[in-house]
């Protein structure tokens, strides 16, 4: 597994498990199964309503907390400083942990000054409740503003990113500032996996279209991906993307998918 260096001196496994829409015992078993297969990076959010089940899956895996990279996110209804800190603490309680590896502002919220929300986010890091902090769904412009406000390194922007979903302006800034871009909905929820160029590239490498789509992401410097999968088959498949690479001809072929 590739480890991406973060600006706080820590690192993030380049492939993580997305958990949006995983609920109840299905969530706990997917987390336990994923950890058993070798995943060490789990992505959740207070909005997903599954933090307790994530904690259950982690407990059932028997893995020590220090071996895991756990991300959660604070929702837009908690952007006022007091609400933000309380929401982060509630997440920690549900996740049964004293800290998360990454705490993100889930979405921008123009109704609350960015300075106030970022101040609270930075405070969670200073208090040791978040080892790393970041943002999600922030454009290059908003990320740039955040960098000039935050007094703790912003290490990640989590955004929708996949072969058909262009993020060039954000990637340019993130690359320059050494901020990791974490790609969510990296498989487009299955919407583009039957594209002929993806199937042809998969056949060439003995890989599935999903594996090619994920490889295309993690092969880029400073890019992580968090596909959601529930079945053992998909969980395993998505992890097996570090034993091949896409060559310039593949990248040219795949560029036909990008908008
Ligand atoms: N920050 C944000 O605002 C935000 C927004 C959206 C998502 N996210 C995060 O990103 C994660 C991933 O995004 P997503 O859930 O929207 O979509 P996704 O990961 O692009 O797609 C998930 C879908 O793809 C299927 N799948 C997984 N592996 C596959 C494979 N190898 N072959 C074929 N199909 C496969 C899954 O099926 P099975 O489940 O049946 O295996 C599921 O239906 C979320 O779970 C969440 O953690 C963050």
> What's the chain's average pLDDT?
97
Kindly report, residue by residue over 21-77, the tens digit of the pLDDT: 999 999 999 999 999 999 999 999 999 999 999 999 999 999 999 999 999 999 999
Separation of 182 CA from ligand 1 center, angstroms? Answer: 13
Residue nearest to atom 31 of ligand 1 (CA): 234
Helix residue ranges per DSSP H, 96-167? 114-126, 140-149
d(CA 179, CA 133): 11
What number does the ligand 1 atom closest to the CA of 43 have? 47
What 3-state DSSP class applies to 41? strand
Question: Can you give the pLDDT at residue 105?
Answer: 98
Query: What is the radius of gyration, based on Cα positions, of the chain?
Result: 18
Of the pLDDT bands very low, low, confident and very high (cuts 50, 70, 90), residue 216 is very high
| DSSP output for 149-218 | H-SS-EEEEEEE-BTTB--HHHHHHHHHHTPEEEEESTTGGGTTTT-HHHHHHHHHHT--HHHHHHHHHH
218: closest CA among 96, 41, 83, 25? 41
Residue 259 scores a pLDDT above 70:
no
Mean pLDDT, to the nearest integer, of 178-188? 98
Any ligand 1 atom below 6 A from CB of 184: yes
How confident is the model over 167-187, as a mean pLDDT? 97
Any atom of ligand 1 within 6 Å of the Cβ of 231: yes
Q: Could you tell me which of 143, 149, 43 has the C-alpha nearest to residue 103?
A: 43
- Do residues 181 and 156 make contact, with C-beta atoms less than 8 angstroms apart? yes
Residue ranges and CATH numbers for the domains of the chain are 3-257 (3.20.20.100)
Whether the predicted model's global pTM rises above the 0.85 cut: yes
Which of 28, 46, 156, 35 shows the shortest CA–CA distance to 91?
Answer: 46
Selecting among 39, 48, 161, 184, the annotated active-site residue is: 48
Residues 100 and 129: beta-carbon distance below 8 Å: yes
**Alpha carbons 236 and 259: distance in angstroms, whole number:** 29
* Residue 192 Cβ contacting ligand 1 at under 6 Å: no
Nearest CA owner, ligand 1 atom 28: 234
Residue pLDDT, tens place only, 103-129 = 999 999 999 999 999 999 999 999 999
Q: Is the pLDDT of residue 184 over 80?
A: yes
Examine the residue annotation and report whether 161 is marked as an active-site residue of this protein. no
The predicted model gives 222-238 an average pLDDT of 97
For residue 235, the ligand 1 atom closest to its alpha carbon is 28
Percentages (nearest 5) of helix, strand, coil residues in the chain: 45, 20, 35
Distance 165 CA to ligand 1 centre (A): 15
How many whole angstroms separate alpha carbon 186 and alpha carbon 162? 5
Q: Is 43 touching ligand 1 by the criterion CB < 6 Å?
A: yes
Q: What is the 3-state secondary structure (H, E, C) of 245-257?
A: CCCHHHHHHHHHH
The predicted model gives 182-197 an average pLDDT of 96
Close Cβ partners of 77 (under 8 Å, ≥ 6 residues apart) = 83
Instruction: Output the pLDDT for position 140.
Output: 98
For ligand 1, say whether the CB of 238 is within 6 Å of any of its atoms. Answer: yes
Residue 258's pLDDT is what? 83
**Would the pLDDT of 232 be above 80?**
yes
């Amino acid at each position: 597994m590739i480890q991406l260096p973060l600006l706080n001196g820590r690192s993030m496994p380049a492939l993580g498990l997305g958990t949006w829409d995983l609920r109840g015992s299905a969530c706990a078993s997917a987390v336990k199964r994923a950890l058993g297969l070798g995943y060490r990076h789990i992505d959740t959010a207070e909005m997903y309503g599954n933090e307790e089940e994530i904690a259950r899956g982690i407990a059932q895996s028997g893995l020590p907390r220090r071996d895991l990279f756990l991300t959660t996110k604070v929702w837009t209804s908690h952007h006022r400083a007091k609400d933000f800190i309380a929401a982060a603490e509630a997440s920690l309680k549900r996740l049964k942990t004293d800290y998360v590896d990454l705490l993100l502002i889930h979405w921008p919220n123009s109704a609350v000054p960015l300075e106030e929300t970022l101040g609270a986010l930075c405070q969670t890091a200073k208090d040791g409740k978040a080892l790393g902090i970041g943002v999600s769904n922030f454009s290059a412009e908003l990320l740039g503003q955040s960098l000039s406000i935050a007094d703790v390194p912003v290490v990640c922007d989590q955004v929708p990113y996949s072969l058909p979903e262009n993020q060039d302006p954000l990637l340019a800034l993130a690359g320059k500032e050494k901020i990791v871009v974490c790609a969510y909905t990296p498989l487009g929820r299955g919407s583009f996996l039957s594209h002929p160029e993806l199937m042809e590239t998969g056949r060439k490498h003995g890989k599935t279209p999903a594996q090619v789509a994920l490889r295309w992401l993690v092969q880029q410097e400073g890019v992580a991906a968090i596909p959601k999968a529930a079945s053992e088959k998909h969980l395993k498949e998505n992890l097996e993307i570090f034993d091949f690479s896409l060559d310039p001809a593949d990248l040219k072929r795949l560029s036909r998918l990008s908008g």
